[in-house]
């Protein structure tokens, strides 16, 4: 879970960096598509565009990067939602008295360590319970 949280943080930094790099290029790319589609080679040459293919490749790169950023953003939001659901479920169990999943450093315990903690908790619950004749 903490690896996922670290990954989400790193991804958000990269998304912001790439969005800053792109700036308004996706909007410019969409306008350039219209220009390329509605002008002849002679008109493009007078505009200073000698190589239509080069411009198309740049437009393709910009639009692909925008699409990748949007996909990555959606997937990190999904991952964050799943982490939040897990933490909510864990909190419910913790409030019902189960021992916590975190160690003293605030990191998740391994499965083995948590199993030991639950076993110790159960043993303590059994030994702390006052013995009555009905229980015996």
Tens-place pLDDT, residues 40-63: 888 888 888 888 889 899 999 999
Q: Is the domain of 33 the same as that of 9?
A: yes
In a domain, 56, yes or no: yes
Distance CA 129, CA 112 (A): 26
User: So what's the pLDDT on residue 130?
Assistant: 65
Domain that includes residue 105, residue range = 97-129
Q: Is the domain of 71 the same as that of 113?
A: no
Q: Which residue has the higher pLDDT, 128 or 15?
A: 15
Q: Is the domain of 14 the same as that of 44?
A: yes
Q: Is the domain of 23 the same as that of 79?
A: yes
Total residue length of the chain: 136
Q: Is the domain of 108 the same as that of 57?
A: no
Cβ contacts of 39 within 8 Å, gap of 6 or more: 47
Token pair 């199993």: residue? 115
What pLDDT, in 10s, does the model give residues 73-115? Answer: 999 999 999 989 988 888 888 888 888 777 888 777 788 888 8
What does R_g of the chain's alpha carbons equal in angstroms?
Answer: 29
What is the total count of domains within the chain? 2
Per-residue pLDDT band at 133 (split at 50, 70, 90):
low
Distance CA 136, CA 132 (A): 7
User: So what's the pLDDT on residue 132?
Assistant: 58
Q: Is the pLDDT of residue 134 over 80?
A: no
Q: Is the domain of 27 the same as that of 78?
A: yes
DSSP 26-78: HHHHHHHHHHHHHS-HHHHHHTT---HHHHHHHHHHHHHHHHHHHHHHHHHHH
């Amino acid at each position: 879970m903490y690896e996922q949280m670290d990954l989400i943080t790193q991804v958000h930094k990269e998304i912001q960096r790439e969005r800053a790099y792109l700036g308004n290029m996706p909007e410019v790319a969409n306008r350039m598509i219209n220009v390329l589609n509605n002008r002849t080679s002679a008109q493009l040459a007078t505009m200073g565009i000698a190589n239509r293919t080069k411009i198309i490749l740049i437009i393709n790169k910009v639009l692909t990067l925008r699409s990748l950023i949007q996909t990555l953003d959606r997937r990190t939001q999904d991952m964050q939602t799943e982490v939040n659901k897990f933490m909510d479920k864990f909190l419910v169990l913790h409030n019902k008295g189960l021992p916590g999943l975190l160690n003293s450093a605030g990191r998740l315990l391994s499965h083995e360590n948590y199993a030991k903690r639950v076993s110790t908790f159960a043993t303590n619950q059994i030994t702390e319970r006052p013995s009555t004749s009905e229980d015996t």
